[in-house]
Structure 1
Amino acid sequence: MKQEKLTTSLLGIGIPILAGMAVTQVQQITDQAFLGNAAPEYLSAVGNAGFTIWTTMSFLFALGTGTAILVAQKLGEEKPEEAESILGSTFVFSSFFSVLLFSIWFFGNRTIFHLMGLEEPILTYAALYAKIYTVGLLFSGINTAAMAVYNGSGFTRPLMLASILRAGINIFLDWVLIFGKFGFPAMGIAGAAIATLTAEIIGAAYTVMTAFSRKLPVYLSFTAIKQAKLGVYLRVIRIGIPASLEEFSWNIGNIVLIRFLNEIDPLAAGIYTIVASITIVPALFFMAMGSATMTLSGRRTGEGRPAEIRRTGQTAMLMCWGVSTIFFALFVVFPESFAGVFTRDPSVIAQTGAMLLVNSFALFPRSANIVFGGGIRGMGDTRWMLFTQIFGTIFVLIFARVLMFSLSLAILGLFLAVFLDETTRAVMNGRHFYSSVRRKSASRALSEGETAVSDRL
């Protein structure tokens, strides 16, 4: 594949994903702003409920990652019928997980939040939000299968359109239902939950309906759904479970890091959140390129073209490092200007600007981790990514504890620990990516040699 075509393919897959994620970020920020203006307790309740629910939902989305990888590989092998069988089986059997998760949250939300240590009135607000919002979990299984159609085939534009549709509906209904516009009563946090649920259902309906289009490279079919096989779905689980545990490990690490910050000063957690909010902008591009790398690596794995997997990773890496360089320069030159978007407190701006400057160095290894991770997953090796994430979680927690408390570096110690973690895992994942490609190249050369000998005989 020529360099120009490879770059175009990466951007063609990644840009719609990037746009969709950016729109979702705007949706979440607007949602938080509305709730914060209505009542500060609402913001705390949704923060606790949303994060915990998302942690459980990430299990299903990770299974969707397994589906997308297998679909991409089957398309590379030119076996679209098998890809459709994988999608049909995911559509059916992921729905069972959806019902299970819904039941847990709908009937056990108060117990879960009580165990988390929430107290009144936030406990009641969080439980009310969860009881309404988690009705959408019933549709998450089939939505996971539909998303795998786009991520596996590389035709990601519908994901962007679904995000725009979902965000537009959510923001409008938030304003109407939270504050009571157009004759509706002011419903507060219940209105926010209804708005989000409505937007999620409409967005999922669009995503699923479009996934049945025969104009797509691969699509959902009623035949494959009716012929769903548990054995096929078990292959999805074997790849998807490590991905879900990887996500869970990452979330656990962040929860503990925030706890460390709260031990120092509640303000430290706020500074950490501001820095994370600022650096999410380049990170969205990294994640989009990571998804594109996974899709193309899966396709090239199916085609038996390991050299193209290497080129895909290298090209995505150069693009991400170009973006990293731009944002590094901006964060170095204007750190306090970025911090001033989130607060007017001079002392907070000064501290946030300094921490943003330190965290800027982590952009390069972070982008490498995401791109190498996408390539490794595309080759079907999700276990390695689970291993490095568990290692990274333990690594960053130990170093953060030592640097923050034993060496009295406070919040600076946390950002140094994050940089060391990202750099260490970037080296580990980079070596594994290239060694995996070399093994596939050697295996292909051996296979071609055996075929040539057989033909001569």
Structure 2
Amino acid sequence: MATASNNIDLRVSLSYSQIITIALPISASLLVPQINFITNNIFLSGLGEKELGAAGITGVFYLIFGGIGFGLNNALQALISRRAGENRINDIGKIFSQGIFIALGIAAMGIAITYFLAPVIFRHTIHSQETYEMCIEFLRIRIWGLPFLYLYQMRNALLVGTNNSRYLIIGTLAEAVSNIFLDYTLIYGHWGFPVLGFNGAAIASIIAEFLGMFVVFAVIHAKKFHKTFHLYNHFHIDKPSAKLILVQASPLILQYAISIISWEFFYILIEHHGQRDLAISNTMRNIFGFFGVFTWAFAATSNTMVSNIIGQGLKEKVIPLINKIVHISTGLAILICIFLNLFPELFLSIYGRDEVFIQSAIPVLRVVSTALIIMSFSTVWLNAVTGTGNTLINLSIEFIAITAYTIYTWLVLEKFNMPITWGWASEWLYWIIMFTFSWLYIKSGRWKSKTI
């Protein structure tokens, strides 16, 4: 058997140290791209509020496709973790190779949508013609990084699912350094490079994503993971494995797509309030991204560890494990919330905006920082649902939450034209609903009969 020949054990324990061992490298790998994104925005803020606001719209649009890849990544990670818990090593390579094929197919569709459908949508939703033209030109460049991003996300699923998350940081660091360097040189034209302005950030991101992907696959080969997990033994279309991935991934892909599309809807409503509010909201998105990486790391840990221990046959240990992860995740989120509320100017000042901007952003920051606490435990429970393998439940929960979120934001921002502080309170509503239904499902025990 493959298990005997490989003589490796990928089963996880349920200790706090195991949780931290998995989560910390994931945090680092997620933190660096957020530093990239914030760096992009710092450079773009030097061009003006118009560019900073447009970066918010284009960033969320690209994030829609990133979220689709993240859904595929989560499904792949749960499947790989389950096979790791069952110690079925040979099947890991089969699942990974099919994930690659599916990811590249989705990337091709994403490029086509950006070129032909995005202009139609934005033309009817963005009020400013100048902002519309900036966004479309930027996205038609930026979208070519999507295949590299998806391949990058597939390796995340492999490394996290096989308890090798410590290697995540290597490729991520390569991407970060190259992105910061290219932002500096291409946006403003330093060191003999052309002055590309707003579009320079798009080109910088594409090159950085390619380098990150290249480095991480070099690491996989250097560590001989391609041999350990038989990554290329099944590098052809395998219909049963591809079907299994699509069955597991489709609800998650739809879940993340719906979630981020609703966020794009939110940003379009914010754009109707003017460039200042749009720029403030883009800054809030940076806060969610930067400080939320720790929460998302523990969420990914919840997914992989829950799936792994179910594969070990330890279903009775699932809820105690989730509670342990929640303790760490929420404790860290509370510390972050305290820091942001004690020193709001410290974070907001890095964008180089005026005092009026900072004072206008502080009330929104207080709402967002408390939303981080709610998100810290909600997303751990939600990803535990993913780990059980019943991804249709994830989609159902998302649909309920996003319906309430969309109605609320439309009423507050468009119908009653209330301040954006109230608009951002939608995050409280969203995450409370996500937690409530995830908790009820896990507590019900209905997931125990699910096999993947």
TM over 0.5: yes
Letter in 2 for 1:255: E
Equivalents in 2 of 1:201, 1:93: separation in Å? 19
2: CA distance between counterparts of 1:265 and 1:206? Answer: 41
Aligned to 2:220: 211
Larger mean CA deviation between 173-182 and 258-267 belongs to 258-267
CA deviation map 1:376-410 (0-9, x unaligned)? 11111222122112211111233445566888863
Name the stretch that deviates more: 16-25 or 123-132: 123-132
Distance 1:420 1:100 in 2: 32
Quick check: 1:410 aligned with 2:419?
yes
Q: Which residue of 2 aligns with 1:225?
A: 235
1:246 to 240, 255, 269: 255
Q: CA deviation at 1:168?
A: 0.5
Give the direction of change, closer, same or farther, for the CA distance of 1:408–1:375 in structure 2 (3 Å limit). same
Task: Give TM-score scaled by structure 2 length.
Answer: 0.84
Aligned-partner Cα distance in 2 for 1:53–1:121: 19
Aligned twin of 1:451: none
The answer as to whether partners of 2:61 and 2:261 remain within 8 angstroms in 1 is no
- My pick for the range that moved more, 404-413 or 243-252, is 404-413
The aligned runs of 1:291-306 (5 Å cut-off) are: 291-306=300-315
Q: 1:342 to 1:185 in 2, by over 3 A?
A: closer
For 1:260 and 1:119, the matched residues in 2 are separated by: 13
The Cα shift of 1:113 comes to: 5.1
Residue of structure 2 equivalent to 1:307: 316
The residue number in structure 1 matching 2:82 is: 73
Whether the 8 Å CA contact 1:177–1:187 is kept in 2: the answer is yes
Shift, 1:218, TM fit: 5.7
Residue of structure 1 in register with 2:184 after alignment:
175
Report the Cα distance in structure 2 between the residues aligned to 1:266 and 1:38, rounded to whole angstroms.
14
1:137 corresponds to 2:146? yes
Counterpart in the other structure of 1:455:
none
Q: 1:9 to 1:20 in 2, by over 3 A?
A: same
Deviation string 1:83-129 (CA, Å, 9 cap, x unpaired) is: 22111222234323333333444677756654654876555554443
Structure 1 position 336, deviation (Å): 5.2
User: How many residues in Structure 1 have an aligned counterpart in Structure 2?
Assistant: 438
- The alignment's C-alpha RMSD in Å is 3.3
The aligned residue for residue 18 of structure 1 is 27
Q: 1:278 aligns with which of 287, 299, 303?
A: 287
The question of 1:95 aligning with 2:104 is answered yes
The answer for unaligned runs of 5 or more in structure 1 is: 445-457
Asked whether 1:324 is paired with 2:327, we answer: no
Distance in 1 (CA, whole Å) between partners of 2:396 and 2:239 is 27
Structure 1 CA distance, aligned partners of 2:191 and 2:425? 51
- CA distance in structure 2 between the aligned counterparts of 1:11 and 1:269, rounded to whole angstroms: 36
The equivalent of 1:447 in structure 2 is: none
Inter-partner Cα distance in structure 1 for 2:417 and 2:48? 36
State how far apart, in whole Å, the 2-side matches of 1:311 and 1:301 are.
13
The answer to whether the 8 A contact 1:62-1:243 is kept is: yes
CA shift, 1:28, in A, is 1.5
Q: Distance in 1 between matches of 2:411 and 2:130?
A: 36
* Deviation digits for residues 38-85 of structure 1 (CA, Å, limit 9, x no counterpart): 576655555444432331343233222211111111111111111221
SS in 2 for 1:225: coil
Query: Any gaps of 5 or more consecutive residues in structure 2?
Result: 1-11
Work out the CA distance in 1 between the residues paired with 2:55 and 2:368: 28
**Could you tell me whether the CA contact under 8 Å between 1:91 and 1:144 is conserved in 2?**
no
Distance 1:258 1:124, change over 3 A: closer
The 1-side partners of 2:368 and 2:53 are apart by 26
Do the aligned partners of 1:72 and 1:153 also contact (CA within 8 Å) in 2? yes
The match for 1:364 among 349, 373, 377 is: 373
| SS of aligned partner of 2:233 | helix
Moved more, 18-27 or 110-119: 110-119
Cα distance in 2 between the residues matched to 1:71 and 1:377: 13
Amino acid at match of 2:229: Y
- 1:358 and 1:177 map into 2 onto residues whose CA distance is 35
* C-alpha distance in structure 1 between counterparts of 2:323 and 2:65, whole Å: 33
CA deviations over 1:141-171 (Å, ceiling 9, x no partner): 5444323211321312332221110011111
Provide closer, same or farther for how the CA distance between residues 269 and 15 of structure 1 changes in structure 2, counting only shifts above 3 A. Answer: same
SS class of match (1:304): coil
Looking at structure 1, the residues matched to 324 and 224 of structure 2 have their Cα atoms a distance apart, in angstroms, of 31
- Cα 1:343–1:427 change in 2 (3 A) is farther
Deviation at 1:316?
0.8
Secondary structure of the structure 2 residue equivalent to 1:223: coil
Return closer, same or farther for 1:332/1:54 CA change in 2, 3 Å cut-off.
Answer: closer
Letter in structure 2 aligned against 1:363: L
Is 2:441 aligned against 1:432? Answer: yes
Q: Relative to structure 2, which stretch is displaced further, 90-99 or 10-19?
A: 90-99
In the alignment, structure 1 residue 192 sits paired with structure 2 residue 201: yes
Structure with the greater alpha carbon radius of gyration: 1
2:22 pairs with 1:7? no
